[in-house]
Amino acid sequence: MENQELINKMQRGDHLKVNITPFIHRVIETIEAHSVKEPWGYTRDLVSNQTPDLYGTADAAIILYTLGELPKEKSACKQWVESLQSFQSSNDGLFHGIGHHPIHGTAFAISALQLFDAKPKYLLTALESLKDRNKLEAFLCGLDWQNQPWGDSQQGSGIFASMVLSGMVDEEWENWYFDWLWEHTDPATGLWKKEAIVDLNGHPIGAPLFHHVAGSFHYLFNLDYRKKKVRYPEQLINTCLDMFNGQQFPLSEQEFSFNELDWLYTFISAKEQTEHRAEEATAMISQVSEQFIQFVLRKSTEEGPYGDLHSLCGAVCALALVQSVLSERVISDRLLNKVLDRRPFI
């Protein structure tokens, strides 16, 4: 059933133009506030940590890339690369950041290095066994798709970004990975993984449905990186629209998060493959985008730098996505870069 109220609002053009330039300038000031001179890098948490860390340094690179502010001088780029590489363990090759699984930290750091056309300093020996097809599939099957689909997706998607961007694997390995995702897509929801999301009667099991959407987002950007299609785009459209109409989508209200990025990217990826419920889908994208912009504008009136670079990174990347679909209503002094158009993982 189409949401006619949403469609009518979109057709009437009941929208305001918004200027995001003041917010962008405040983001740049925030990056400067998080910078550390010795050792050089960026801290994620401005309140409790005054030393460079993996996530702060990688987040700063991603945000500045999105804003078109990454330095072009060779000396500055070399400094960035050396700082990011310093967080890699020479023992297992992984990047051990605080607050996430080491595979997430590894993928996050390597994808940040890619912005400088650089690679990790050491071999990723901890992931070497996953070059074998049977062990790759066993690893993917062993993730907790039912109860921890969001958290564990950081591992299931992170191995792709880590191993592909570091040059560990070839096209054959990538095809094994994509074949497994294709085979295990849930036909009822269009998400991952089948038999872990809803029962035979279509009732949710395990984690909340949004956790499955957010988890599936991490696999979608790997598919998009290689221009692979999702298996059930119509079902994915239905899932997202039904959740939105049922008010099951957690919009940001107090602090920045990755929620809008996860949701909009997932929905837009599916929409690019099908005209299924197209008018309602366009209206929903417009409303979520507009609500997010209004939230960003409210946050931009606060004083001082933002405290957490990681959540800010998610918000800035989401804003770039929103600008790409609402360019006529988003006023800015620049066109933001969508980092996931360049490489996978966020």
pLDDT digits (tens, 9 = 90+) for 286-304: 999 999 999 999 998 888 8
Parallel, antiparallel or unpaired: strands 18-19 and 41-42: unpaired
Give first-to-last CA distance, the chain, whole Å.
33
Crossing angle for the helix pair 4-12 and 278-299, to the nearest 10 degrees: 70
Three-class secondary structure assignment of 267-331 = HHHHHCCCCCCHHHHHHHHHHHHHHHHHHHHHHCCCCCCCCEHHHHHHHHHHHHHHHHHCCCCEE
pLDDT at 21 over 60: yes
Percent of the chain with pLDDT over 70: 95
Using alpha carbons, list the distances in angstroms from residue 3 to 14, 15, 202, 244.
16, 18, 22, 10
Query: What is the distance between the alpha carbons of residues 168 and 123, in angstroms, rounded to a whole number?
Result: 8
Query: What is the distance between the alpha carbons of residues 92 and 132, in angstroms, rounded to a whole number?
Result: 18
- 14 pLDDT tier (thresholds 50, 70, 90): low
pLDDT at 315 over 80: yes
- 72 contacts: CB under 8 Å, gap ≥ 6: none
Query: What is the distance between the alpha carbons of residues 43 and 41, in angstroms, rounded to a whole number?
Result: 7
pLDDT digits (tens, 9 = 90+) for 123-132: 999 999 999 9
pLDDT at 7 over 60: no
pLDDT at 12 over 60: no
pLDDT at 13 over 90: no
Arithmetic mean of pLDDT over the chain: 94
Q: What is the mean pLDDT of residues 28-42?
A: 95
Quick one: pLDDT at residue 5? Answer: 55
Contact predicate 255/311, CB 8 Å: yes
| Secondary-structure percent of the chain, ordered helix, strand, coil, rounded to 5 | 55, 5, 40
pLDDT digits (tens, 9 = 90+) for 181-227: 999 999 999 999 999 999 988 888 999 999 999 999 999 999 999 99
Query: What is the distance between the alpha carbons of residues 184 and 336, in angstroms, rounded to a whole number?
Result: 34
pLDDT digits (tens, 9 = 90+) for 265-277: 999 999 999 999 9
Beta bridge partners of 45: 308
Quick one: pLDDT at residue 8? Answer: 55
pLDDT digits (tens, 9 = 90+) for 59-79: 999 999 999 999 999 999 999
With the CA atoms of 187, 192, 193 and 198 taken in that order, what torsion angle do they form, in degrees rounded to the nearest 10?
-60
Cα dihedral sign for 108, 112, 113, 117? positive
pLDDT digits (tens, 9 = 90+) for 229-265: 999 999 999 999 999 999 998 888 889 999 999 999 9
Quick one: pLDDT at residue 252? Answer: 87
Percent of the chain with pLDDT over 90: 86
